[in-house]
Structure 1
Amino acid sequence: MSTSVVNKNKLTDYWNPVIAGLVSVLVNYGGTFILVFQAAHIAGLSPELTASWVWSISIGVGITGIVLSWRYREPIITAWSTPAAAFLVVALASTPYEQAVGAYLISALAFLILGLSGYFEKVIRLIPSSIASGLLAGILLQFGINAFSGMTLEPVLAACLIVAYLLLKRVTARYAVVGILALGLILLLLQNRVDFSGVELQFAVPIFTTPSFSWHALLSVALPLFLITLTGQYMPGMLVLRNDGFKTSANPIVALTGLGSLLMAPFGSHAFNIAAITAAICTGKEAHEEPSKRWVAGIAAGVFYIVVGLFGVTLASVFMALPSAFITTLAGLALLGTIGGSLTNALSDSRTREAALITFLASASNIQLFGIGGAFWGLLIGLIAYAVLNGRVLNLVYKAVTVQSHKK
């Protein structure tokens, strides 16, 4: 074999995984990262604090992905928790930012302890998947509704995005969200609706926020954040790795991402974890025909995340210049797949269907009682419904009472 052929093969060994890592990062930022800016806007964060959020989560995700991929020689892609970001759009409306940061710390510490303890699989089994899916679908429902309610205020813009999404979904489902982001930006520029003249390439400066702690934040933010990230990110993320033949234990992944989240929380990072949807770009054959060469994609993705994070101010200013109708429509369309998948999983088992449906409706109603947010009440009501309808203890009590009545 000639030297040129050998060099070409070596180049392919690295080039394909690097491209896969880049595409994964672009899909992540171009898709649901808009939720971070939406949550920051709801919380009333300054551009500097928003940029610190972008910096902390991007740098954290980049470093943990590089370390894990290098250590285990597998494409372990880490990312921010998308369901958690969607949840925060609602939660931060009634939670002071300092208390939210305290909740981030508590949730991250719980993941660190969970990873170090080795009880990840056991904890997962304690939470009925249908209830967890119903909770996630209920939290995200409003985003799906907002994707279409935008047609009332911005009929042309919303309609163009929806039609483009359907067409792109038919042609290239994986890049549909990135496609409508690009098309939407072009449309806004043609309409002179956005002005990027003031956007400058600037380095982000991390800002430390002193956390505060409260029962409200613990129950309304920390607990739902932990459960949503556990069931909405770690479970499907590990499934993606397993489906492509990779065997790394979940425990070191949970521990390292938990530690990273703990360190970055005071700078605004809400949670990062193993990626699910975008990870498939790097774990499958698209990255490389040989599974043993795909770990390079994890390194590349980590590097690209760090680069974007360094310029968090620029990214924040770009997104903040966009109309709110564009952001809500884009976010809703980006989450359609997650909403649909959650609903399917929630209602797939006839034995738990009604309890999951109750969880979904209770979560979607966003109950506010005693200063505690709707995610907690939706989960609590769902678990009570599950225990009443499916709980083994109640079944044993029912059987015991039935036996006694027959004896009498």
Structure 2
Amino acid sequence: MVTALVGFTSSFAVVLAGLRATGASPEQAASGLLALTLAMGLGIVLLALRYRIPVTLAWSTPGAALLAGAGIPSGGWPAAVGAFLVTGVLIALTAAVPWLGRLVARIPQHLAQAMLAGVLLPLCLAPFQSLGTIPLLVLPVILVWLAASAVAPKWSVPLALVAALTVIGVQLGLAGTTIDPSSLTPSLAFTVPVLDPAAVIGIALPLYVVTMASQNLPGVAVLSSFGYETPWRPALAVTGLGTAVVAPFGGHAVNLAALSAALSAGEGAGEDRDRRWIAALTAGVSYLVLAAGSGALVVVVGAAPPGLVEAVAGLALIGTMATAVTAAFQDATGRMSGAVTFLLAASGLSVLGIGGAFWALVGGLLVRAAIERRRAPRVGTAPPA
């Protein structure tokens, strides 16, 4: 239950921010959140029962952050939905065609992390930028986050979310705003996908790469660290098909859980490793329960003052960004390509309707090929120090 609660509350604000940034209406964003939560819950139940290991799924938080910086494609929300559908197909194809997974694995990790860090930078700045516009509303949220980070880091973002919801409630009470109870019921909104080439290149490809590199591959590593072998191809098939199914309802990407995976696979799930799959199964059922409350959360968050939800999303991503920046610049031989990738991703560049995440990866690969490739030493000469 903790796995589901932390996984949902720590990043659902990021998902909403990403969906709204690509053109979703409040109803369509609520539908996307509901569809993703249902797909995660059902996928976890299926995999846990079938393989009896604590494998858990999540929505792509880095992917949602990427969407938040991508902007509305030229084809609008239907084109974004089409890009989500292509992402699901690519993930499913990775399960069926092994060389696709090997191709993604060949992308230098520091470039993938630099792209992620650049995408996250604008969102991570949001809490501190909001201090200049709505200080009395954002400051309590930041203080709660700081205090919880010192005492109970795992609960820092959920508690910050509680603080933000409290602030929103107080604001609504002071303004005398009422909420229609019928709007609190979650519902699915279908959108016919449109395959727009610019959205496929600018959204689907970066979303696929960042989901594979920052979620699926680390998810395998987390399970491996606890002694479990991930059912790689079945998991990709489930998440890819799940993404394709929920895409018309606004879901952007489902993948293997990375950080939250440790909660159900670690010792906290019990001393008997052979029975920890029950923790994953319970997490899946808990996600299905949380899905019922997703509509109410979206309505309340939609009534928030501008900048408050983005501030919570930024706080949720600071740790991820710190990890990505460290990985991007850890290797001295790749710092130039990492820096170019990071700056292009953070710049908000858009060329031919294609967002900066794609150009960041292209630019980083070009710089790496031009000035960082290793040249074989000449015969009779020593390699460079």
Compute the TM-score of the two structures, normalised by the length of structure 2: 0.92
2:268 is paired with a residue whose SS is coil
Q: Which residue of the partner structure matches residue 7 of structure 1?
A: none
Once residues 128 and 259 of structure 2 are traced to their aligned partners in structure 1, the CA distance between those partners, rounded to angstroms, is 24
Q: 2:329 aligns with which of 330, 344, 347?
A: 347
Q: Which residue of the partner structure matches residue 130 of structure 2?
A: 150
- Higher deviation after alignment, 326-335 or 244-253: 244-253
1:352 is paired with a residue whose SS is helix
Structure 1 residue 93: Cα displacement: 2.6
Return the letter of the residue paired with 1:50: A
Q: 2:66 aligns with which of 80, 87, 91?
A: 87
Q: 1:56 aligns with which of 35, 45, 69?
A: 35
Q: Which residue of the partner structure matches residue 161 of structure 1?
A: 141
Return the letter of the residue paired with 1:175: W
1:170 maps to 2:150: yes
Structure 1 residue 147: Cα displacement: 1.5
Q: Which residue of the partner structure matches residue 77 of structure 1?
A: 56
1:134 maps to 2:114: yes
Structure 1 residue 196: Cα displacement: 6.3
Return the letter of the residue paired with 1:178: P
1:118–1:278 Cα change, 3 Å: same
> How do 1:226-245 and structure 2 match up within 5 A?
226-245=208-227
1:94–1:122 Cα change, 3 Å: closer
Once residues 129 and 183 of structure 2 are traced to their aligned partners in structure 1, the CA distance between those partners, rounded to angstroms, is 34
Please list the CA deviations of residues 217-252 of structure 1 after superposition, one character each: whole Å capped at 9, or x if unmatched: 111111111111111111221111111111123222
Q: Is the 8 A contact 2:73 2:198 kept in 1?
A: no
> How do 1:358-377 and structure 2 match up within 5 A?
358-377=340-359
1:187–1:204 Cα change, 3 Å: closer
> How do 1:8-407 and structure 2 match up within 5 A?
22-95=1-74, 96-119=76-99, 122-190=102-170, 192=173, 195=177, 197-200=179-182, 203-392=185-374, 395=375
Number of equivalent positions: 378
Q: Is the 8 A contact 1:196 1:318 kept in 2?
A: no
* Greater gyration radius: 1
Structure 1 residue 43: Cα displacement: 3.9
Q: Is the 8 A contact 1:73 1:295 kept in 2?
A: yes
Q: Is the 8 A contact 2:104 2:209 kept in 1?
A: no
Structure 1 residue 203: Cα displacement: 4.3
Q: Which residue of the partner structure matches residue 15 of structure 1?
A: none
Structure 1 residue 63: Cα displacement: 1.0
- Structure 2: 5+ residue stretches without partners: none
1:27 is paired with a residue whose SS is helix
Q: Is the 8 A contact 1:224 1:376 kept in 2?
A: yes
% identical equivalent positions: 33
Once residues 289 and 334 of structure 2 are traced to their aligned partners in structure 1, the CA distance between those partners, rounded to angstroms, is 45
1:368–1:226 Cα change, 3 Å: same
Structure 1 residue 350: Cα displacement: 1.2
Task: Calculate the aligned-residue CA RMSD, in Å.
Answer: 2.2
Once residues 7 and 241 of structure 2 are traced to their aligned partners in structure 1, the CA distance between those partners, rounded to angstroms, is 22
Please list the CA deviations of residues 59-92 of structure 1 after superposition, one character each: whole Å capped at 9, or x if unmatched: 1111111111111111111010001111112224
Once residues 104 and 366 of structure 2 are traced to their aligned partners in structure 1, the CA distance between those partners, rounded to angstroms, is 18
Once residues 40 and 248 of structure 1 are traced to their aligned partners in structure 2, the CA distance between those partners, rounded to angstroms, is 30
Q: Is the 8 A contact 1:143 1:332 kept in 2?
A: yes
- Higher deviation after alignment, 238-247 or 39-48: 39-48
Structure 1 residue 399: Cα displacement: 6.2
- Higher deviation after alignment, 26-35 or 89-98: 89-98
Once residues 207 and 217 of structure 2 are traced to their aligned partners in structure 1, the CA distance between those partners, rounded to angstroms, is 14
Q: Is the 8 A contact 2:199 2:353 kept in 1?
A: no
Please list the CA deviations of residues 250-300 of structure 1 after superposition, one character each: whole Å capped at 9, or x if unmatched: 222112111111112111111000111122111111111221111111111
- Higher deviation after alignment, 196-205 or 144-153: 196-205
Compute the TM-score of the two structures, normalised by the length of structure 1: 0.87
Structure 1 residue 359: Cα displacement: 0.7
Structure 1 residue 348: Cα displacement: 0.9
Once residues 256 and 40 of structure 1 are traced to their aligned partners in structure 2, the CA distance between those partners, rounded to angstroms, is 22
